[in-house]
Structure 1
Amino acid sequence: MGSIARSASESFDVMIVGAGLSGINSAYRIQTELPGYSYTVLESRDAVGGTWDLFRYPGIRSDSDLHTFGFPWRPWTEHKAIAEGDAIRNYIRESAEEFGIDKKIRFGNKMLSADWSTEEQNWNILVDSNGEEKIYKARFIIFSTGYYDYNEPLKTTIPGIENFKGTRIHPQFWPEDLDYANKKIIIIGSGATAVTLLPILAQTAKHVTMLQRSPTYILSRPSVDPIGSFIRKIFPSWLASRLVRCKFLVLPFLFSQFCSAFPEAARRTLHKRMQAELPPSMSIDPDFNPRYYPWQQRLCVCPDGDFYESIRNGTSDVVTDTIKRVTDTGIETTGGKVIDADIIITATGLKMLLAGGATLSRDGTPLSLPSTFAWKSTMLSDVPNAALVIGYANASWTLGADAAAKLVTRLLKYMRKNNFSSAVPRVPDVDMRKQQLLDLNSTYVERAKGDLPSAGDRKPWLPRRNYFVDFWGAAYGDLTAGLEFSSAADDAASKKVI
């Protein structure tokens, strides 16, 4: 834990790390399901919101509908299903304030390390509290820290990028005072960030080019759902919000299942929709014809077809090629194209990071998260009393986060009822085939394979793929398979025998 002066430690039943969507949801579930339990939320930054407070690039918005991306216990009531960053940030903050969760948040507190003490049956947590090191104790930790590094983006090699004389920007660190009016802009990347940036920048820039190594599926959806608007007109608000949420739960799920079961048909369907959005003279080849099937990587959403509208207006274009070199005034591609630029935006992905980068250990022995398996996509093998909140690759992240929170509260109730002080997942003594925890082949996921826990090929180690199955399992499924329980009394007895 390091040599620091250890003042009297504060102790909690549950420590939640992170005050973003997942953290606020975890806090609500703890205080609602376990009202007698003490908890606090550690937040390294100075505001609620996590990703939605950190990212401030122009046009930032969700790529999931807010009816399922929002909290089930505080329904999203705005008409826009695809919402802007400001609206999401305010929604998270207001939700925390309405239920008193904001009073439990300790801002400027970054977890540095956590050591599980078998003797004490709790975690000893070292925290940087606004520049001062503090020790907290907690019986259970919930890591609601998201899945990427807030301080460092994904490193990528761009030949000659140091030659560029203009402005270079990574969206994760967007400068507030950037003036891009009447500028020539190149966005390197083809993911959700690039698809979001292009249409908003094209409104005032001279021209915007999205330079991609390979295409992605870009699906146009109305920002205001017409069916949801109709439901709100004929049903009372409490019922309408539930019906709209159900609609957004069921239809996207059926679509993702369709994509999985009939990949060629799904590809043709999306090709047809994308072709209809493009100018009549433009083919989907090569710039809009991905090499992979739908949902092998996340689909990109553009509300009201704004991405395609900027293409049709001629204020932006897409180039599919690799970079030969960056010059002082732009980029030369391997295909021989020269693209001039005043600004280059490297929307090349996120660096994955779990548990906020904190170092975990058990009785002073370091724990290696990449060597672990995920129990019900929530707890990690050989790591006692800790949950890692993981969402979905093919649905709203919050759905998976809530399934995890429900599972944790149910587990804590079970432990209380049976006087257990700890629960630790144990991998069975069989050859279990590893699977990816996040079922995507996106570049940032592929590059992080060696840094992530694994899923297994059998229950309860399977990856998270189906919200309805996970929700049922969290509420009613087996809580003991794959878990080893112990109590402080058991541990004391074993030490006495030894």
Structure 2
Amino acid sequence: MMQADLDVVVIGAGLSGIGVARYLKVNCPGKRFAILESKPRIGGTWDLFRYPGIRSDSDMHTMGYAFKPWKNAKAISDGESIRDYVQECADENGLTPLIRFEHRVIRAEYVSRDCLWTLTCATPEGEKVITCNFLFSAAGYYKHDEGYLPDFAGYDDFRGTIIHPQFWPEGFDHAGKTIAIIGSGATAVTLTPTLAETAKHVYQIQRSPTYVRARPMKDKVGNILKTIFPGQLGYSLTRWKIIWEGRMRRRRFAGDIEGLKAEMIGEVAKALGDTVDWKTHFTPSYWPGQQRICAIPDGDMFDVLKEGRATMVTGHIDRFTETGILMQDGSHIEADVIVTATGLVLDYFGGMEMTVDSQKVDPGKPLIFKGFMYSNVPNMIYFRGYTNASWTLKVDLVAEYACRLLNHMDRNGYTQVVPVAGSGDFATINTASLFTSGYFVRVAHRLPKHGTSFPWIHKQEYFWDRKTLKRGRVDDGTLTFSTGEGIVFPPEQLAGTGGTGRDIAAE
């Protein structure tokens, strides 16, 4: 068996990757590992997105790490503070020297007879090859160098400035300008009140309404708990308070979805009063929970709408014109700047090609194993958070489990672990999805699949994951351990790709 350069490689030095690396260092102290980061800095999403007002859309007491208290008074925090938190974690735990910056993994090839991953990385000095026995992918779920742009007509006709939030120009001065923001998600509802502070006027154009909910920027009860019980205890109490509040809220989703919808829309109606047509602009056609609910910190977006500094526009865009946007109803929105907050391009493998014993791993073919591994792909764990709760809650659980898995393999002399799926497992693929966000729906055919029975299902539910990952046995019979058995994909996991829409690249 070939000797690997490293025991483990962690891909990504963002919020997930740094947290995973800390678990690895503490719980598996004998492992040799490195972190590969495609950019020259730590931070991932919180380094990439630098548009005005960038902030979390989850409470930082649960989006922060379980092991590292969030000390900032703001629970809904600005991007710079989150980036500093990630950097501080890396420095405190001696992880920064282990990061190899500007190493983008372009190919990952696994050979079962050697239990070895060979990673080909693009670097400023050319391609480099790194080998490892185990791969931890914390590369996120979207492409960092591309953003989604719908096929609107007339892009080239517009004489003003077009900006995608993923590539916000450094130092861009929007003061005194009329701005049209296209979008209805978290990015749009963040940009609207922020840009309205100094813009001449802001129009937020949405095809259809999204659920929004005002929430305090600061968690008063949480901050009191952290004052009374300094350090980890106060943070943990605050964290559990928020986790239980989320659980109760999700139970309401299931128990009285119609009542919850009426309550959420009623809150918006009360906040806006008669100053804004909330029935048109804030009454979604789908149920709460089918897309992420956008947080409105301290009601900032409602304030600028009521004050007339921003205007909601709901309808379909016909085309861009020389001076703005023409809507299908014939109305025209004049603008100096158009911001296309139109979404992400999902990318489940971090942009790398992957093979197992010379068989191509197509992202749209594998089954998802318990929400952190792919069918028939050995010695690899991916880290991806929740769509209905804070991202890091799931990452913490998977990272802890991953370390237990590695330690179990070491104790028993195993060098390979794989969630084996056969044709029978693929025969019961669940193609239905309750999550209807555009960035997910338009590429759903290219994403790993859910089965209909355990272990090929996973729930977007923290307590289910605690039972499965934190308290569940590693050797529960669902994983196959060996010292290097060959891997043969069933026909259902071979070949086939596809895609839709238009993607734009950073220039």
For normalisation by structure 1, the TM-score amounts to: 0.94
**Structure 1 residue 299: deviation in Å?**
0.2
**Structure 1 residue 284: deviation in Å?**
2.0
Distance (Å, rounded) in 1 between the aligned partners of 2:4 and 2:198: 52
**Which structure 2 segments of 5+ residues have no match?**
488-507
Aligned to 1:53: 47
Distance (Å, rounded) in 1 between the aligned partners of 2:55 and 2:359: 42
For 1:195, which of 189, 197, 211 is the aligned residue? 189
Aligned length: 484
For normalisation by structure 2, the TM-score amounts to: 0.92
**Structure 1 residue 439: deviation in Å?**
5.1
Answer yes or no: is the 8 Å Cα contact 2:384–2:395 preserved in 1.
yes
Distance (Å, rounded) in 1 between the aligned partners of 2:194 and 2:246: 26
Answer yes or no: is the 8 Å Cα contact 1:427–1:482 preserved in 2.
no
Aligned to 1:218: 212
Q: Does 1:389 align with 2:383?
A: yes
**Structure 1 residue 434: deviation in Å?**
2.6
Answer yes or no: is the 8 Å Cα contact 1:143–1:389 preserved in 2.
yes
**Structure 1 residue 405: deviation in Å?**
1.1
Q: Does 1:249 align with 2:239?
A: no
Answer yes or no: is the 8 Å Cα contact 1:9–1:135 preserved in 2.
no
Aligned to 2:329: 335
**Structure 1 residue 424: deviation in Å?**
0.9
Q: Give the letter aligned to residue 469 of structure 2.
A: A
**Structure 1 residue 364: deviation in Å?**
2.4
Deviation track 1:305-361 (CA, whole Å, cap 9, x = no partner) reads: 101011011000101000112110011111222110000011000000112110111
Q: Does 1:372 align with 2:370?
A: no
Aligned to 1:434: 429
**Worse-matched range after superposition: 249-258 or 207-216:** 249-258
**Structure 1 residue 120: deviation in Å?**
1.1
Q: Give the letter aligned to residue 464 of structure 2.
A: V
Over 6 Å off, 4+ runs: none
Distance (Å, rounded) in 1 between the aligned partners of 2:275 and 2:88: 47
* Structure 1 residues 202 and 307, CA gap change in structure 2 (3 angstroms): same
Answer yes or no: is the 8 Å Cα contact 2:113–2:485 preserved in 1.
no
* Structure 1 residues 437 and 61, CA gap change in structure 2 (3 angstroms): farther
**Structure 1 residue 21: deviation in Å?**
0.8
Deviation track 1:9-32 (CA, whole Å, cap 9, x = no partner) reads: 961111100000110111011111
Aligned to 2:294: 300
For 2:22, which of 28, 46, 59 is the aligned residue? 28
Aligned to 1:162: 156
Distance (Å, rounded) in 1 between the aligned partners of 2:327 and 2:167: 26
Aligned to 2:457: 462
Aligned to 1:496: none
Q: Does 1:446 align with 2:410?
A: no
For 1:484, which of 480, 484, 499 is the aligned residue? 480
Aligned to 2:66: 72
Distance (Å, rounded) in 2 between the aligned partners of 1:489 and 1:291: 50
Aligned to 1:314: 308
Answer yes or no: is the 8 Å Cα contact 2:276–2:305 preserved in 1.
no
Deviation track 1:205-238 (CA, whole Å, cap 9, x = no partner) reads: 0000000000001111110111112223433433
Q: Does 1:173 align with 2:135?
A: no
Q: Give the letter aligned to residue 13 of structure 1.
A: D
Distance (Å, rounded) in 1 between the aligned partners of 2:372 and 2:430: 15
Deviation track 1:374-414 (CA, whole Å, cap 9, x = no partner) reads: 11111100111011212101001111111221221111112
Q: Give the letter aligned to residue 235 of structure 2.
A: S
Secondary structure of residue in 2 paired with 1:413: helix
Answer yes or no: is the 8 Å Cα contact 1:217–1:299 preserved in 2.
yes
* Structure 1 residues 73 and 359, CA gap change in structure 2 (3 angstroms): same
* Structure 1 residues 384 and 437, CA gap change in structure 2 (3 angstroms): farther
Aligned to 2:38: 44
**Which structure 1 segments of 5+ residues have no match?**
1-7, 492-498
Secondary structure of residue in 2 paired with 1:286: helix
For 1:291, which of 279, 285, 292 is the aligned residue? 285
Secondary structure of residue in 1 paired with 2:146: coil
Distance (Å, rounded) in 2 between the aligned partners of 1:281 and 1:126: 57
Aligned CA RMSD, in angstroms, stands at 1.8
Q: Give the letter aligned to residue 19 of structure 2.
A: N
Distance (Å, rounded) in 1 between the aligned partners of 2:231 and 2:134: 37
